[in-house]
Amino acid sequence: MQIRVGYELIYDCPQPTPMILMLNVHHSRAGDIVVADKMTTEPVVPVTSYHDSFGNWCSRIVAPAGRTRISSTAIVNDNGQPDPVFPSARQHMVQDLPDDTLVFLLGSRYCETDLLSETAWQLFNDTPLGWPRVQAICDFVHNHITFDYARARATRTAWEAFNERTGVCRDFAHLALTLCRAMNIPARYCTGYLGDIGVPPPHGPMDFAGWFEAYLDGAWHTFDPRNNVPRIGRILMARGRDATDVPISNTFGPNTLVGFQVFTGVMTTAASTP
């Protein structure tokens, strides 16, 4: 199948404001891109790009004073299959982990492993190692937190989500990956597009989604404690230690986000490359 994705962000800035934007489809899906997600701005401003330390594609602009519209549309090929499940995937001993996974065992801005370590061992010490343990963590988080857009907070940490028992997809992901790290399982935060393909209505308002990946049996695997079922059409944008590393925008000056729209859906007819 082919999936059309895109966004429109409108910022109002009282003065010229530098921005770093992380809005492109991840390079791991480059071979699936039919129509590239080229960023456009109104008014037109120079855009420069670079890869960050996690391999994410970042764009830099200076938004002028007044309103700036930032938008893009892409078409991506997808196999139409749900997230793969590997129940027998084994857990590695820490001493056997690859060097580049070790950073994803450590605490980070939104993931306080020190505060949740004792709780994690109390809850999950008796669960089977590997995939079943990660799934047990996802089951716990899915049932422990109530999804509530109205109570979203950009500063909420995993520890706070655990105690407040409310949040949005990023809070589910932060808590689950923090518990994984506390159990010596490398886990990294992911953000991207996730539509309602294969999900019966009613559907909620579209937004960018947050989930996580755990390192098991020599590979990274997708887990989604917010939905807690394999989903179709997940399109990665960025990965990092937590949401600090993968914000859709970092703005360096006063601004107001006055317009925000995200869309994703299956193309009804095959698209050709323009």
Structural domain harbouring 26 = 2-80+248-266
pTM higher than 0.85, yes or no? yes
Residues 255, 131 share a domain: no
The verdict on residue 238 lying in a domain is no
Q: Which two three-digit tokens encode residue 20?
A: 């770093």
**Does the pLDDT at position 273 exceed 50?**
no
Task: Give residue 269's pLDDT.
Answer: 61
Domain-located, residue 12:
yes
Domain total in the chain: 2
| Same domain assignment for residues 71 and 184 | no
* Domain co-membership, 180 together with 54: no
**What is the pLDDT of the chain when averaged over all its residues?**
95
CATH number at residue 161: 3.10.620.30
Q: Are residues 205 and 124 in the same domain?
A: yes
pLDDT, tens digit, 9 for 90 and up, residues 94-135: 999 999 999 999 999 999 999 999 999 999 999 999 999 999
Asked if 56 and 146 sit in the same domain, the reply is no
Question: Per the domain annotation, does 117 fall within a domain?
Answer: yes
| In a shared domain, residues 20 and 122 | no
* Distances from the Cα of 109 to the Cα of 65, 106, 118, 230, 233, angstroms: 31, 10, 19, 28, 29
Q: Give 46's pLDDT tier (boundaries 50, 70, 90).
A: very high
In a domain, 165, yes or no: yes
Q: DSSP letters along the chain, please?
A: -EEEEEEEEEEEESS-EEEEE--SPPGGGGGGEEE----EEES----EEEE-TTS-EEEEEEEPSEEEEEEEEEEEE---PBPP--TTPPPPPGGGS-GGGGGGGS-BTTB-HHHHHHHHHHHHTTSPSSHHHHHHHHHHHHHHSEE-GGG--TT--HHHHHHH-EE-HHHHHHHHHHHHHHTT--EEEEEEE---TT-PSP------EEEEEEEETTEEEEE-TTT-S--B--EEEEEESSGGGS-SEEESS--EEEEEEEEEEE-SS-----
Inside any domain, residue 237: no
Please check whether residues 112 and 198 belong to one and the same domain.
yes
Lowest mean pLDDT among 64-73, 106-115, 204-213: 204-213
272: pLDDT strictly greater than 60: no
* CA separation for the pair 135, 263 (Å, rounded): 29
Q: Does one domain contain both 123 and 201?
A: yes
pLDDT over 50 (residue 247)? yes
Q: In terms of pLDDT, which residue wins out, 273 or 172?
A: 172
Measured at the CA of 261, the angle between CA 257 and CA 266, to 5 degrees, comes to 160
Supply the CATH number for residue 37's domain.
Answer: 2.60.40.2250
pLDDT value at position 268? 78
Do 31 and 66 have their domain in common? Answer: yes
